[in-house]
Amino acid sequence: MLSKILSATTIGIEARPIEVEVYITRGLPNVVIVGLPDVAIRESKDRVKAAIKNSQFEYPREKITINLAPCDIKKEGPSFDLPIAIGILAASGQIDLNNLKDYVFLGELALNGKIRPVKGALPIAMSLKNSHKKLILPEENAREASIVEGVETYPVSTLSHVAGFLKGANIIIPLAPDKEILLEKAQDYELDFSDVKGQFLAKRAMEIASAGNHNIIMIGPPGSGKTMLAKRLPTIIPEMTIEESLETTKIHSILGLIPAKGSIIRKRPFRTPHHTASDISLVGGGTVPKPGEVSLAHNGVLFMDELPEFHRNVLEGLRQPLEDGHVTVSRINSVIKFPSKFMLVCAMNPCPCGYLSDTKKACHCTPNQVQKYLSKVSGPLLDRIDIHIEVPSVKYKDLSDESSGEKSEIIRGRVKAARDIQLKRFKETGIFSNSQMSYRMVRKYCKLGQSSMDLLKRAISELGFSARCYDKILRVSRTIADLEGKQNIETDHVSEAIQYRSLDRSMWM
């Protein structure tokens, strides 16, 4: 007898429908799984057999052929355990086939019949929005999938629970979409900008970077507060919009990073890869392409501490996502695109020992050592970083100061006001911040007066900025003007933006 069960898998960050066909025929007891399954799927025959028997059902003593269609898509993961088990029960006449056509099944089976959580529940639920299909999936994934309106989500815990529901013996109430989840605020942060002593120029640069979602690099001696500043950056960035939250949650769902009790990510991601990370772990890829750190930081912050310690090929791999806002992974059978619109925050020392720019400690590095160290960060990569600042050692006067600086809440208020101006400006364009402006948008929204143009012309001529750098200065100038609530970019705004681009020319040339 033949049964057909609906399921789904994810390719990249998008879901694809999969039909699980189970055919039981006379012959020696044997199970064959076809349709490009991976090792986890091929091993499912043993998990499914034990789960069916331990759920008090009869396992067929005949030849079973399982086909995962379409056959030209490589399938992976244990999420097909439940549809395979339901297919076997239906093909053997233990469940009515007519009750299955409106349902999509997902779930990994334990040997005792318990259903374990799977990856990619949210993108699969989103793909069913207009299909009138109902989704049966593990309890741990139900809250995550229930945020998609128009899709009935049925949480289940065991195989017998599902079979009883399909027979009409059990009642499962679909989980209703919790609209309050989309409106709830992100949790308060434990860190705060008021913890940082001194470093007023660095704080100002961080505020500008947050307001326009600009990339920033900090250079200074050890212990000057670079990491401390970076970790507090998310506390001054406004909360994500609903669209940004859904995009971010979708990526984390593919890798199974949504907590069991969680549903939607409201707090902006803050990713800190170690400097030993490979290019694939950072950018994404693999035999079956998966998102990397740049995609996990989508709509959030990617902090790369000790930047020159990363391998050169890893750093150069950042150039495309920084420029395009996405990563394209090409394989023989497919081309997959992962979103990667993130704020890059980098920290590094000025030399191998770290004390080249320190006024208190002497640097013992030779000029060749310094040049070799700095050359690990290429000019094209620096060109894509909007703001460059020096973070000097903190003076004792600032450290011993009992008064606290501005709280993150106050700074976030100014940043949010600037972001609101940008959201209104780019309402019909699909972008959220000044850093994402295209060439034409820069020409439209970053018009300069004659005095500002003369200042920028002198800077370009004397400092040798590139054409990309020219656009970066205009974007940062636009953000500074937005922070002040000014409609037009003034000379002071351009002057400050140029100041944030001079570091690479003074140290790298």
**Whole-number Å distance between alpha carbons of 65 and 105:** 19
Average confidence (pLDDT) over 210-239: 93
The percentage of residues in the chain with a pLDDT greater than 70, rounded to a whole number, is 95
Average confidence (pLDDT) over 127-136: 92
What tens digit of pLDDT does each residue of 12-69 get? 899 999 999 999 999 999 999 999 999 999 999 999 999 999 999 999 999 999 999 9
Average confidence (pLDDT) over 258-270: 81
Coil, strand, or helix at residue 391? coil
Range in 91-105, 199-213, 401-415, 480-494 with the lowest mean pLDDT: 401-415
> What domains does the chain contain, in order, with CATH numbers?
2-177 (3.30.230.10), 193-428 (3.40.50.300), 437-502+505-509 (1.10.8)
Would you give the DSSP letter of residue 448?
A: B
**Whole-number Å distance between alpha carbons of 295 and 12:** 11
Q: Residue 330 pairs with which residues in a beta bridge? A: 335
What tens digit of pLDDT does each residue of 285-326 get? 888 889 999 999 999 999 999 999 999 999 999 999 998 889
- Check whether 189 has a pLDDT greater than 60: yes
Contact 92, 63 (CB under 8 A): no
Instruction: Give the pLDDT band of residue 498 (cuts 50, 70, 90).
Output: very high
What tens digit of pLDDT does each residue of 447-482 get? 999 999 999 988 888 877 777 888 899 999 999 999
Strand ranges for 12-130 from DSSP E: 14-25, 30-34, 63-69, 103-105, 108-109, 115-116
- Check whether 506 has a pLDDT greater than 60: no
Would you give the DSSP letter of residue 306?
A: S
Q: Which amino acid is at 7?
A: S
DSSP letters, 24-52, are: EESSSSEEEEESSB-HHHHTHHHHHHHHH
Sign of the four-CA dihedral 232, 477, 398, 351: positive
Average confidence (pLDDT) over 207-214: 96
Round the average pLDDT of the chain to a whole number and report it: 90
Phi and psi torsions of 438, nearest 5°: -80, 175
- Check whether 103 has a pLDDT greater than 50: yes
Q: Which two tokens stand for residue 487?
A: 């409609």
pLDDT of residue 173: 92
pLDDT of residue 185: 60
What tens digit of pLDDT does each residue of 233-247 get? 999 998 888 888 889
Would you give the DSSP letter of residue 288?
A: T
- Check whether 509 has a pLDDT greater than 50: no
Query: Could you give the maximum distance between any two Cα atoms of the chain, in Å?
Result: 88
**Whole-number Å distance between alpha carbons of 199 and 185:** 30
What is the reported pTM?
Answer: 0.89
